């Protein structure tokens, strides 16, 4: 946009000369959300494994063996599932964390425990990005517009209930002190919605603001070879070209986009 590529009316309002009117630039923003549910274990049950790179013993163990707390990510396992049989692909994700939740800057809790991050990976809501001014040092105006589609919160509640069901299961019951759970297993839909809106955060997977599309899609910013429409020798090779969120995380697909772009350039396509 600062270079004059984007919605003409927005650029004109900021005094930026329009090089090419591309209405889709900054539109179609989509992102994954997660909301954690945490619980403590009963006294004496379980073990915590908290990585601390400032701990000399942990650092030495990792350097010497490649194992120890610094080798273990908190998300030790994940599960993708469909909230109903009517959806075409997994729309929810559960990320299992091996430690009881803690507040940033606060000491770890006394007991062991665990928490489940409930990820919403197929949202219908769309946001946008705009410029605050023509000054490149000014921060962008980012409107993620999370949960603006009424269907999204209904799906999210289903995912939260799946996590609660797991915490109450026979398998997890010996490891779970339900008196310490951060969201009541008997919460109503309204209470779960309030919990989500108060605790949800990004999984940092934004896509879509320079989306790829066919020639008949007026909101497509790049074509299927990642070339910016109407601008010679300019391509985009990042997650912004992904038109719709995938259910999985976005690092590998972004590498794929970059590799394909390099192939197109090398072949002169």
- Catalytic residue, from 10, 32, 115, 205: name it: 205
Distance, in Å, from the CA atom of 43 to the CA atom of 261, rounded to the nearest integer, reads 55
Q: What is the largest CA-CA distance in the chain?
A: 67
Burial class (CB in 10 A: 0-12, 13-18, 19+), 231: middle
Instruction: Give the DSSP H or E segment for 28.
Output: none
Q: Has 10 been annotated as catalytic?
A: no
Angle at 71 between CA 102 and CA 69, to 5 degrees: 50
112's CB contacts (< 8 A; 6+ apart) are: 40, 41, 45, 46, 47, 48, 99, 100
Active site residues: 205
């Amino acid at each position: 946009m600062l270079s004059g590529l984007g919605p003409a009316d927005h650029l004109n309002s900021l005094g930026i000369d329009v090089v090419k009117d591309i209405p889709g630039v900054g539109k179609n923003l989509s992102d994954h959300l997660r909301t954690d549910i945490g619980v403590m274990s009963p006294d004496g049950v379980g073990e915590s494994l908290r990585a601390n790179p400032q701990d000399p013993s942990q650092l030495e163990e990792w350097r010497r063996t490649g194992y120890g707390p610094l080798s273990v990510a908190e998300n030790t396992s994940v599960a993708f599932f469909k909230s109903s049989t009517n959806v075409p692909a997994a729309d929810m994700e559960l990320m299992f964390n091996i430690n009881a939740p803690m507040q940033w800057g606060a000491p770890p809790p006394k007991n062991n425990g665990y928490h489940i991050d409930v990820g919403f990976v197929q949202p219908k809501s769309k946001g946008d990005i705009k410029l605050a001014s023509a000054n490149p040092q000014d921060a962008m105006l980012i409107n993620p517009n999370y949960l603006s589609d009424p269907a999204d919160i209904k799906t999210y509640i289903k995912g939260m209930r799946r996590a609660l069901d797991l915490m109450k299961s026979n398998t997890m019951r010996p490891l779970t002190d339900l008196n310490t759970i951060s969201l009541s297993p008997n919460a109503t839909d309204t209470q779960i919605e309030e919990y989500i809106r108060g605790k949800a955060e990004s999984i940092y997977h934004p896509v879509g603001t320079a989306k790829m599309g066919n020639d008949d899609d007026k909101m497509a910013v790049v074509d299927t070879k990642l070339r910016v429409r109407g601008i010679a020798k300019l391509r985009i090779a990042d997650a912004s070209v992904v038109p719709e969120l995938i259910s999985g995380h976005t690092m590998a697909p972004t590498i794929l986009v970059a590799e394909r772009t390099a192939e197109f350039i090398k072949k002169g396509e």
